Amino acid sequence: MSKEESKVSEEIVDLEEPKKMTREDWRKKKELEEQRKLGNAPAEVDEEGKDINPHIPQYISSVPWYIDPSKRPTLRHQRPQEENQKQFAPIGDWYKRGVQEKLVSTKFRKGACENCGAMTHKKKDCLERPRKVGAKYSGSGMAPDEHHQIQLSMDYDGKRDRWNGYDPDEHMRIVEEYAKVDLAKRTLKAQKLQEELASGKLMDQANSRKHLDDDAAQDHSSEDEDDDKYVDDFDMPGQNFDSKRRITVRNLRIREDIAKYLRNLDPNSAYYDPKTRAMRENPYSNTGKNPEEVGYAGDNFVRYSGDTISMAQTQLFAWEAYEKGSEVHLQADPTKLELLHQSYKVKKDDFKEKQKESILEKYGGQEHLDAPPRELLLAQTEEYVEYSRHGAVLKGQEKAVACSKYEEDVLINNHTCIWGSYWKDGHWGYKCCHSMVKQSYCTGEAGKKVVSNSCIPFEDDVEEAETSEEPKTLLQMHQEKMKDKKKKKKSKKHRDSDSSDEEDEAKKKEKLKKALSAEEQRLKQVAEMMQFDERKRPYNSLKEVREPTEEEMEAFRMKRCRPDDPMASFLGQ
């Protein structure tokens, strides 16, 4: 065998898979790993003399077969390989722009652009204006060469840097341009104002000051025009544009505020809805405090304060006017709607006043309208209110208790208690006299003594007394005899009907036999049909159109096979 063949055989032996370890070798290997993890045995050392951490998982420390066939302990396969590392450009590098900073050639060079004479592009890619006589033929006006655009190899951060290659001077040029435009606007407005003052268009000094203030406000609004575009979006609740600024949702409260349900702990105070976190009424209503003096007077107080009510009335008027043909809108034409609403209210008041005067002139009754209020005339009311010496309400004006629609505490026949206030032995009565008879006259303590010493005539006893035996008359005796005769006739008819019933039963048995034979034939036919292929079976072959009779249903129940029946297997035997 030659030396080359021996080397190949050695390499093949080295590349072969390792032999299977015995049970003893496997046990020794595991014990050694445990001792290394506990620190009782020295750790493995790689080819560079560094210790390998014994706690590294096996899937990380094991060497793949395609990297190192020798299976030596190493972690080189987990480190970046220098030969595979690609040289990336720094994160600050970018494609150079513009022309090269060197002397411009004075002669046309071979391979240059025929139009401008630059070497970095051809004639079809030239961005200059096409010359009448190109640089190739004129030999003058050679353009400088552009920078050669090499392909940069950027790393991970360089590829994702969105500002890489950005020139900050470009932004400064834009800022300067806008500043010049704003300065020109201001100068034009100042000139316009001077012309108005010189021409005498302004009536007096007050109006001139007002116009100056308006122009200044307009100037300020024009400067902040871009900022005002996003005011509505910025103030939307629930969107935190600035982490330092706290924006809360409408129904939530900040932690420093007092909760609505903690302002008044009286259970009879205003109702708090925990689902919507709303308290519509004033929680201090039963304390006598003025709603304008307390810190919180209920949701309705805030909701119906200020111009809220007038705005709601204006909106309602706009809807009614639109239905009647007037094209007005609260948001589109607020001034027109307000003027129309005011004129409507004036006309409505005038119409009501004229109508009232006409009715009083025709029928009279002005003296009744001038009368004082009914409360003062009657000088009484059910509302209990206590006032202080200064006229402030101390107590009262509580919520009125809802009365029942039924009559309450109505006493009759000298009773001091109502019917149903006493109960004994399953019967209701009056507590004042222990009487069990409804609508009876009260006897007081004497009635109680009589009831305790004697039997009470209950309703059942009264009925028994009414139904006691009395001497029968001749008419009653005759009627009883006629009833007995009718009973005898009915008994005879019943005997005759028994014979007819026997005949009916015989007919039913015959019908049942016929139904059983027909059911057996139907079952045989179904079994024959089920043996055929479904595709060859006739259409609706198992469907019965006629409604079954009672005998057929009974035969079906008798012949039906039940799989849960334990004796079903013995039917065919």
Which domain, by its residues, includes 27?
Answer: 3-81
Backbone angles phi, psi at 422, to 5 degrees: -130, 145
In a domain, residue 139? The reply is: no
Q: Which of 150, 147, 126, 146 is nearest to 136 (CA)?
A: 126
* Res 344: pLDDT: 92
Predicted confidence (pLDDT) per residue in 260-300, tens digit: 888 888 888 889 998 888 888 888 887 878 777 788 888 88
Q: Report the C-alpha gap between 423 and 419 in whole angstroms.
A: 10
Asked if 453 and 520 sit in the same domain, the reply is: no
Asked if 70 and 7 sit in the same domain, the reply is: yes
Residue 164, amino acid? N
In a domain, residue 299? The reply is: no
Extract the tokens encoding 56. 């590294």
Last residue of a domain, one of 22, 51, 81: 81
Cα separation values, 53 from 32, 48, 217, 500, Å = 14, 14, 74, 109
* Res 30: pLDDT: 92
* Res 174: pLDDT: 94
In a domain, residue 180? The reply is: no
Q: Report the C-alpha gap between 240 and 230 in whole angstroms.
A: 14
Cα separation values, 109 from 12, 104, 113, 120, 148, Å = 62, 12, 9, 11, 17
* Res 457: pLDDT: 46
* Res 36: pLDDT: 92
Q: How many domains does the chain have?
A: 3
In a domain, residue 371? The reply is: no
Last residue of a domain, one of 20, 47, 81: 81
Extract the tokens encoding 291. 């709603």
* Res 56: pLDDT: 93
In a domain, residue 266? The reply is: no
Asked if 452 and 516 sit in the same domain, the reply is: no
* Res 128: pLDDT: 92
Extract the tokens encoding 433. 């006299």
Extract the tokens encoding 236. 């939307």
* Res 12: pLDDT: 46
Predicted confidence (pLDDT) per residue in 506-555, tens digit: 888 888 888 888 888 888 887 877 777 777 766 654 555 677 888 888 88
Last residue of a domain, one of 81, 106, 127: 81
Running along the chain, 573 residues long, what does each successive block of 10 average in pLDDT?
50 53 91 92 89 92 79 84 75 84 86 92 92 91 86 86 88 94 94 84 55 55 47 44 48 75 86 88 82 81 78 91 88 90 93 93 86 71 78 71 72 86 87 87 85 58 49 74 77 64 82 87 81 69 68 84 72 57
Q: Which of 102, 103, 126, 100 is nearest to 113 (CA)?
A: 126
In a domain, residue 7? The reply is: yes
